[in-house]
């Protein structure tokens, strides 16, 4: 048999780690990306990466990390994946250190760790406040080394459009479009992985990069891949509002001691610095004495929303609260948070070392994504020999990184995503190799007709897109889509608005058909490429809205006040017993993975059980 | 009437075409940046003369000056368009593509040469494998802080655009790649392959091309002390050359 060929779509942390695992075993890998992989969205990650290395004498361990992660995700995460991730974490951090990541150090020269949300331990390794950039660069360098050695070939201006399936429904390759020339080209691969990141752009403005359209995942979904937990979208509590994007102020700001507050007096007009300590309301510290400003993101975002929108207590009556670092020495801020200090200074114009920052929650991360399979060992870890790990329901097609769904449940803990991308890659690469070794017949032998047909289909599609001459400007239509999604599908949700959104999305599809291509050229026709993305974004928006509409409960990031169970404070009280009973009933009904399958009429939703064999679900508490 | 921002953009249909200029008036919004201007033009691609045109092609991704994609020449100054705030710019705001790279279209250029340079200088650490091999070497805080300055290079190209010695038709690897050689030669493990990297910058297109004009360090948005690194590398290559001579 010919040597197997592997296609990796996406060169963020998850994609590149997968490439390295394959190349290290001597396999040839083709990598596809819409930007030079060094510019992938992973560069944006600021705060850090978790691993229970336990260097501060706190007694931290992978088991505690595992528990924090599962509890943080409101028990919706798949426990084998989570456990595997937390157990691999310390070694992954060491590996990245060996690759040359400039992690911050302790005086003795060891790796330094800081606090992050949803845990009481110093578990987060960091490189200033540009950890994602440093991690991505390290992998980019290793991949360049394999590229120089001839094992890896990068296509950094080819966009994945869809997969090529054979008669048996196996994935045999992909179809791409050349961003510079709109040329359509197919590639054969024995195993293919999508590592294409998150879909933030479905919400118009978010903390995400402009390339995070979720287009590749949406296309896979439209070709029959199951999309899981789409309604679970993380809203990060602290971002700077902006016209073009909502820039993140990392959770590490609070990890290093940053405090959230608003003036106690509604509409207090004094300059923030003039407001004395006793006139400030540190609402998170007050309500959650144990976790304080470091409650998980779902809770922090919901509380900030409540303070600003329901209580009208935001700064100057607006939708803004303070994130205050001014009590921390400048030198320390520069050394540990320099990257985000600069962002705030450059984009807002104030120095956050002197003036409290003004922030508000923003769409940040998708816990949901493409459904993937796994096999576990008797200790509840992932079986390292299994080709099923990270494989979607289409044989031969894998998914890894933010585009997958199983690690973070209903709410991701900060600094766990860089980790799941890396450990996911460590698992996914070998699984693909196993699959290719065991498959019958190689992609090389499958009929060229399959590939020609798919190419032709996409060529026709792009010709049609170029010819669109309607009245809708696609970029404006996208702006409108985003505004609606932010209004109805973010922190607080209700069924009336969700039903309206589901209906409106059908109108968006109709309006999409009336787009103006704006540009009929071939060279870097960004308009036509965008119109294709926009179609995919509308299809994904439907998954988010429908999943949210149907899930009548509150879990993690999914807050529906109409179905909220108020938790009595006193656990000994009869009311608490009453509450527990209803909680169990609700939980039995809803502790399930939402599965969306594409159909012409919109997403078809069903539910799958979640494996909770290692940690038993309980009501979450952080106070 | 809403305040308008005047923008002049140098455009080019494709790699072969002749450049031409177009002017736009865009509604002002407080705190807006050049990216917002270009996005508004996408939403309403009509010139000052009222003529419908195509949206302007440009490169961008993260919009927070960390991916390095959106570099262009703004009012004559090479910089990222995301962090270029309209309030700080004189009008009309003039946008041009970077000057040292092949133009793909409008403001979008092909910076492959910079990534190739990273290959040439072997900007990586040859690790034994991804297996669990325990912790890396200890490092002092001082060394980490110095390396961190260089490890933030986002291959944006400002430095090479400003460097008089980096021309479209020569083979100079440029200040960014030299900065990376300094970085990897400073790393406790990277040091083991120091000579290989020095050798890579001692030939044609290497460090001797640098005329010490200091332009690079002035335009680097990440304030990377490129010329300090280059000066130290100069010393290292000299003593390497001497060693090579003695070995003969
Ligand atoms: C501002 C910010 C800060 C963050 N900070 C942290 C943090 O401190 N800690 C943490 O753990 N997590 C953090 N996160 C989350 C984390 O950064 C991301 O979840 C993670 O980097 C995703 O990596 P990835 O490899 O899955 O995808 P990405 O890095 O998004 O890469 C996707 C890749 O796919 C390619 N691609 C996409 N579509 C296509 C297509 N159609 N064809 C070809 N290629 C395609 C892209 O070019 C890119 O190479 C942060 C996120 C944001 C937005
Ligand atoms: S110092 Fe050297 S590399 Fe920097 S701009 Fe001058 S000539 Fe170019
Ligand atoms: S050294 Fe500075 S200017 Fe040059 S590419 Fe790197 S970040 Fe950009």
Chain B interface, mutation test: which of A44, A181, A243, most B Cβ atoms within 10 Å? Answer: A243
Euclidean distance between CA atoms A102 and A160, whole angstroms: 33
CATH fold, domain B112-128+136-247, is Fumarate Reductase Iron-sulfur Protein; Chain B, domain 2 (1.10.1060)
Chain B interface, mutation test: which of A17, A42, A51, A98, most B Cβ atoms within 10 Å? Answer: A98
Segment holding A86, helix H or strand E: helix A79-98
Segment holding B78, helix H or strand E: strand B77-80
DSSP A405-471: -SSSTTSPPTT-HHHHHHHHHHHHHHHHHHHHHH-SS-GGGS-HHHHHHHHHHHHHHHHHHHT-B-S
Token representation of residue A301: 């975002």
pLDDT of residue B65: 96
User: Who's near B216: CB < 8 A, 6+ residues apart?
Assistant: B158, B159, B160, B162, B163, B175, B226, B227
Token representation of residue B76: 């004559």
Do residues A256 and A217 lie in contact, with contact meaning Cβ atoms separated by under 8 Å?
no
CA A405 → CA A227, A614, A622, B73, distances in Å?
8, 19, 25, 41
A524 touches chain B (CB under 8 A): yes
Which ligand lies nearest to the CA atom of residue B213 in the structure? Answer: 2
The single-letter DSSP state of residue B132 is: -
- Collapsing DSSP to helix, strand or coil, B147 comes out as helix
Which ligand lies nearest to the CA atom of residue B67 in the structure? Answer: 3
DSSP A99-126: TT----B-TTSSBPEE--TT-SS--EE-
Other CB atoms within 10 A of residue A316 CB: 14
**Dist. CA B113 → ligand 1 center (Å):** 25
pTM of the model: 0.97
Residue with the nearest Cα to atom 8 of ligand 3? B156
Other CB atoms within 10 A of residue A9 CB: 30
Euclidean distance between CA atoms B50 and B52, whole angstroms: 7
Q: Which atom of ligand 3 is nearest to the CA of B114?
A: 5
* Residue tagged 């959770």 (tokens): A251
CATH 3.10.20.30 maps onto chain B at 4-109
Q: How far is A215 from chain B (nearest CA, A)?
A: 15
Q: What is the pLDDT of residues B137-182, one digit of tens each?
A: 999 999 999 999 999 999 999 999 999 999 999 999 999 999 999 9
pLDDT of residue B168: 96
A452 touches chain B (CB under 8 A): no
Token representation of residue A274: 């003039």
Euclidean distance between CA atoms A408 and A327, whole angstroms: 33
Annotation marks residue A188 as catalytic? no
User: At residue B1, does pLDDT exceed 90?
Assistant: no
**Dist. CA B212 → ligand 3 center (Å):** 16
pLDDT of residue A1: 55
Between strands A592-597 and A227-228, the pairing is antiparallel
Euclidean distance between CA atoms A3 and A21, whole angstroms: 16
CATH 1.10.1060.10 maps onto chain B at 112-128+136-247
User: At residue B83, does pLDDT exceed 60?
Assistant: yes
Domains of chain A: 5-235+365-445 (3.50.50.60), 241-361 (3.90.700.10)
pLDDT of residue A615: 97
Between strands A5-9 and A28-32, the pairing is parallel
Contacts of B185 in chain A (CB under 8 A): none
A349 touches chain B (CB under 8 A): yes
Token representation of residue A234: 């993380």
Select the residue of A44, A98, A348 nearest B133 (Cβ to Cβ): A98
Which ligand lies nearest to the CA atom of residue A197 in the structure? Answer: 1
- Show the low-confidence residues of chain A (pLDDT under 70): 1
Token representation of residue A249: 């102020």
A181 touches chain B (CB under 8 A): no
**Dist. CA B208 → ligand 2 center (Å):** 10
Token representation of residue A606: 């069903």
Helices A526-550 and A215-222 pack at an angle, to 10 degrees, of 70
pLDDT of residue A451: 97
Euclidean distance between CA atoms A532 and A520, whole angstroms: 14
**Dist. CA B234 → ligand 1 center (Å):** 38
pLDDT of residue A442: 86
pLDDT of residue A443: 86
pLDDT of residue B246: 86
Contact A347 B43 (CB under 8 A): no
> Which residue does chain A place closest to B187, by CA atoms?
A100
Token representation of residue B107: 């403001």
Euclidean distance between CA atoms A199 and A537, whole angstroms: 8
Euclidean distance between CA atoms B110 and A88, whole angstroms: 39
Do residues B93 and B2 lie in contact, with contact meaning Cβ atoms separated by under 8 Å?
no
CATH architecture of B4-109: Roll (3.10)
Q: How confident is the model at residue B247 (pLDDT cuts 50, 70, 90)?
A: confident
Between strands A171-178 and A280-281, the pairing is unpaired
ipTM: 0.97
Residue with the nearest Cα to atom 27 of ligand 1? A197
CA A168 → CA A4, A138, A395, distances in Å?
19, 39, 9
């Amino acid at each position: 048999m010919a040597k197997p060929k592997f296609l990796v779509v996406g060169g963020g942390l998850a994609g590149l780690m997968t490439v390295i695992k394959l190349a290290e075993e001597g396999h040839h890998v083709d990598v596809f990306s819409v930007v030079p992989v060094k510019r992938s969205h992973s560069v944006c990650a600021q705060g850090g990466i978790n691993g229970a290395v336990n260097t501060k004498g706190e007694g931290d361990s992978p088991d505690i990390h595992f528990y924090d992660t599962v509890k943080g995700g409101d028990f919706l995460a798949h426990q084998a994946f989570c456990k595997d991730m937390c157990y691999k974490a310390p070694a992954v951090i060491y590996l990245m250190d060996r690759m040359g990541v400039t992690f911050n150090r302790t005086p003795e020269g060891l790796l330094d760790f800081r606090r992050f949300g949803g845990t009481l331990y110093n578990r987060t390794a960091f490189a200033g406040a540009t950890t994602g950039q440093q991690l991505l660069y390290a992998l980019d360098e290793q991949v360049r080394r394999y590229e120089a050695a001839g094992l890896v070939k990068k296509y950094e201006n080819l966009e994945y459009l869809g997969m090529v399936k054979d008669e048996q429904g196996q994935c045999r390759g992909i179809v791409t479009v050349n961003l510079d020339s709109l040329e359509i080209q197919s590639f054969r691969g024995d195993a293919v992985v999508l590592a294409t990141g998150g879909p933030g752009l479905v919400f118009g403005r978010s903390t995400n990069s402009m390339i995070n359209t979720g287009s590749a995942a949406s296309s896979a979904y439209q070709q029959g891949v199951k999309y899981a937990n789409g309604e679970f979208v993380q809203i990060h509590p602290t971002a700077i509002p902006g016209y073009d994007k909502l820039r993140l102020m990392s959770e590490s700001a609070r990890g290093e001691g940053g405090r959230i507050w608003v003036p106690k007096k509604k509409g207090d007009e004094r300059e923030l610095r003039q407001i004395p300590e006793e006139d400030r309301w540190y609402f998170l510290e007050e309500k959650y004495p144990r976790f304080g400003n470091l409650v998980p993101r779902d809770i922090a975002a919901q509380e900030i929303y409540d303070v600003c929108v329901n209580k009208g207590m935001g700064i100057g009556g607006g939708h803004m609260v303070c994130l205050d670092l001014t009590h921390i020495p400048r030198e320390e801020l520069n050394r540990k948070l320099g990257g985000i200090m600069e962002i705030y200074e450059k984009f807002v114009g104030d120095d956050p070392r002197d003036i409290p920052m003004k922030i508000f929650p923003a769409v940040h991360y998708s816990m949901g994504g493409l459904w993937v399979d796994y096999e576990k060992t008797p200790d509840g870890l992932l079986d390292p020999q299994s080709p099923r790990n990270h494989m979607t329901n289409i044989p031969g097609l894998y998914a890894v990184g933010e585009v997958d769904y199983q690690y973070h449940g209903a709410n991701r803990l900060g600094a766990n995503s860089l980790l799941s991308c890396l450990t996911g890659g460590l698992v996914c690469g070998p699984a693909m190799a196993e699959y290719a070794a065991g498959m019958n017949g190689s992609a090389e032998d499958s009929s060229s007709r399959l590939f020609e047909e798919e190419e032709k289909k996409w060529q026709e599609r792009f010709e049609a897109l170029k010819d669109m001459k309607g009245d809708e400007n696609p970029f404006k239509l996208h702006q409108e889509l985003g505004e609606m999604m932010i209004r109805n599908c973010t922190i607080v949700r209700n069924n009336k608005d969700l039903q309206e959104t589901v209906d409106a999305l059908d109108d968006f599809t109709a309006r999409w058909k009336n787009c103006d291509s704006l540009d009929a050229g071939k060279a870097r026709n960004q308009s036509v490429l965008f119109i294709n993305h926009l179609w995919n974004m509308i299809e994904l928006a439907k998954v988010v809205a429908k999943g949210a509409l149907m899930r009548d409960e509150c879990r993690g990031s999914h807050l529906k006040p109409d179905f909220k169970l108020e938790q009595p404070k006193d656990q000994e009280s009869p009311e608490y017993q009453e509450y527990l009973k209803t909680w169990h009933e609700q939980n039995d009904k809803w502790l399930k993975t939402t599965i969306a399958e594409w159909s012409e009429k919109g997403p078809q939703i069903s539910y799958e059980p979640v494996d909770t064999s290692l940690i038993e679900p309980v009501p979450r508490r952080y106070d | 009437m809403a305040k308008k921002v005047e923008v002049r953009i140098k455009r080019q249909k494709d790699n072969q075409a002749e450049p031409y200029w177009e002017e736009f008036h865009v509604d002002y919004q407080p705190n807006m940046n050049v990216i917002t201007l270009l996005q508004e033009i996408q939403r309403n691609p009509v010139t000052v003369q009222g003529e419908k045109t195509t949206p302007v092609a440009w490169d961008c991704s993260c919009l927070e000056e960390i991916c390095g994609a959106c570099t262009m020449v703004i009012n004559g100054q090479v910089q990222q368009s995301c962090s270029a705030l309209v309030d700080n710019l004189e009008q009309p705001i003039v946008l041009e593509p970077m000057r040292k790279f092949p133009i793909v279209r409008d403001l979008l250029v092909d910076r492959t040469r910079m990534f190739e340079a990273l290959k040439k200088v072997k900007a990586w650490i040859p690790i034994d494998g991804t297996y669990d091999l325990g912790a890396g070497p200890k490092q002092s805080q001082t060394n980490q802080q110095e390396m961190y300055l260089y490890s933030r290079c986002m291959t944006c190209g400002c430095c090479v655009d400003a460097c008089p010695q980096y021309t479209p038709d020569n083979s100079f690897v440029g200040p960014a790649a030299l900065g990376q050689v300094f970085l990897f030669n400073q790393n406790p493990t990277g040091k083991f392959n120091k000579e290989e990297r020095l050798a890579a910058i001692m030939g044609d297109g290497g460090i001797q091309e640098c005329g010490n004009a200091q332009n690079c360090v002035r335009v680097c948005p990440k304030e990377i002390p490129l010329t300090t690194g280059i000066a130290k590398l100069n010393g290292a290559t000299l003593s390497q050359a001497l060693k090579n001579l003695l070995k003969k």
